Amino acid sequence: MSGAGSGRDSISGESGPPVMVVNAGSHSLKLAVLDRDLTVLDESDIDAAPDSDEVAEGLGEFLDRAPEVAAVGHRIVHGGPRLSAHQVIDAQVRSALDEARSLAPQHVPPALAALDLCRRRLPETVQVACLDTVFHTGLPEAARTYAVPREWRNDHGVRRYGFHGLSYAWTLARTAELLSRDPADLQVVLTHLGGGSSVCAVRGGRSVWTSMGFTPLEGLPMSHRSGSVDPGMLLWLQKEKGMSADEVSDALEHRSGLLGLSDGLSGDTRELVRAAGAGHRPASLALEVFGLRVRQEIAAAAASLDRLDAVVFSGEIGADQPEVRELVAAGLPVLSVHGGLDTSQDEDHVISRGGVPVLVVRPDEQRQLAIEVRRVLEESGGRPAGPAQQTTPAGAVGTTPGGTPDDGQHFS
């Protein structure tokens, strides 16, 4: 793989050792080592659960051939109520991460299994938790508060967190580069469409609204996840139809979304586009529902802005599925967003021909992970050894000292 995108100047001085980044899925582990210029020196994808013998063996083989690293950065989807910044992992931080297990049960346990494995194999190496929730830490009070009883909010910490923070940090920086603008001056709607999908409004370099909430289940329909549904329906299914909480959870997490809408055909939009073209009505319905919901969430995000400088597609679906981008953009003339988008699949670029700019930005969480790890090292006393990427203005969310998936279409 090649180095970093344009516009990221390296900090001068000693190069220092590279960093390793770890992105764990429920049945996969992605490893990479990146130097100070964000060039990938080595990488490995292991198709097995992070707590399996296969992953332990694969990690050992990777470490045997990889260069010495300054630190290991771990993507953690949910930081829970106690962690609001990327930070070095110690016993206290590790305990706080355990509290987040139940808030993202499909995501956090595998990440912690990978984290613990790396700590055992590299006991003297700094390990850094990079939390997807950090990008949204500064959500305005109205945007993060649910209309539920006060005791729920105060006693149980029920609030909206937001996710896909690493993806959004990278996408915001690339958008600013492509538009030749300062991120702090932009008001944009970012979309991350993949196995997990969400929308985010960014103003002044900060997240001011996002479609995911307390857990990664809220918001858009996703590959296998339902997204937002009427909570009264869930109560009805339990009370009147005798469904258990586990049965409801399994259906919402694994058998809903695009998969459920297509009557079990597929949660992959590429397959759905092919099937819809062949006359498969459930596949067509799945795409129609998805397109409608994405448009609705984009409009909701725009309502948190004073103006709309751009709409950006990222994530595997957003970056690689022009049919879905067109379905969304063609239905948003009310926001001066129009169809007829460029369908070329090359570099990040502006794909609209008029109106509000529409962009495609390919997600790159592993490079964003490396950026955040180096930032934590620098702020905690380590030497600076990476590009100065201005994802947010000084003091804004994402630059907090010490302490943010790609939620890929097929493995999140």
Residue 393 pLDDT > 90: no
Question: Comparing 103-117, 337-351, 387-401, which segment has the lowest mean pLDDT?
Answer: 387-401
Kindly calculate the radius of gyration of the chain based on its CA atoms and give it in whole angstroms: 21
Residue 12 pLDDT > 50: no
Cβ(302)–Cβ(208) under 8 Å? Answer: no
* Cα distances (Å, whole numbers) of residue 393 to 169, 183, 209, 212, 396: 12, 8, 18, 24, 5
Q: Mean per-residue pLDDT for 281-304?
A: 99
Predicted pLDDT of residue 382: 55
Predicted pLDDT of residue 14: 46
Q: Mean per-residue pLDDT for 319-336?
A: 97
Any known ligand binding at 270? yes
Predicted pLDDT of residue 15: 58
Q: How far apart are CA 132 and CA 401, in angstroms?
A: 15
Residue 9 pLDDT > 70: no
State the pairing for strand pair 40-46/28-34: antiparallel
For residue 400, name the pLDDT band (cuts at 50, 70, 90).
Answer: very low
Any known ligand binding at 341? no
Any known ligand binding at 195? yes
45 is catalytic: no
Percent of the chain whose predicted confidence (pLDDT) is above 90? 83
Pick the closest to residue 46 from 36, 60, 64 (CA basis).
60
Question: Comparing 207-216, 244-253, 398-407, which segment has the lowest mean pLDDT?
Answer: 398-407
Any known ligand binding at 8? no
Predicted pLDDT of residue 381: 73
Q: Mean per-residue pLDDT for 212-216?
A: 97
CA torsion, ordered 160, 165, 171, 176, to nearest 10 deg: 70
Please report the beta strands in 292-405, taking only residues with DSSP state E, as ranges in sequence order: 310-314, 349-350, 358-360
Pick the residue with more confidence: 166 or 400? 166
Any known ligand binding at 68? no
Q: Report CA 222 to chain centroid distance, whole Å.
A: 13
Predicted pLDDT of residue 301: 99
Any known ligand binding at 192? yes
| Catalytic one of 45, 64, 132, 348 | 132
Any known ligand binding at 122? no
Cβ(156)–Cβ(102) under 8 Å? Answer: no
Any known ligand binding at 269? yes
Segment 144-170, tens digit of pLDDT: 999 999 999 999 999 999 999 999 999
CATH number at 165-360: 3.30.420.40
Predicted pLDDT of residue 409: 36
Pick the closest to residue 30 from 42, 39, 18 (CA basis).
42
Q: How far apart are CA 26 and CA 399, in angstroms?
A: 29
Any known ligand binding at 194? yes
19-159+364-379 and 165-360 in the same fold: yes
- Assigned superfamily of 19-159+364-379: ATPase, nucleotide binding domain (3.30.420.40)
pTM of this structure: 0.88
Cross-strand partners of 202: 188, 207
Q: Mean per-residue pLDDT for 293-301?
A: 99
Any known ligand binding at 75? yes
Residue 222 pLDDT > 90: yes
Domain residue spans of the chain: 19-159+364-379, 165-360
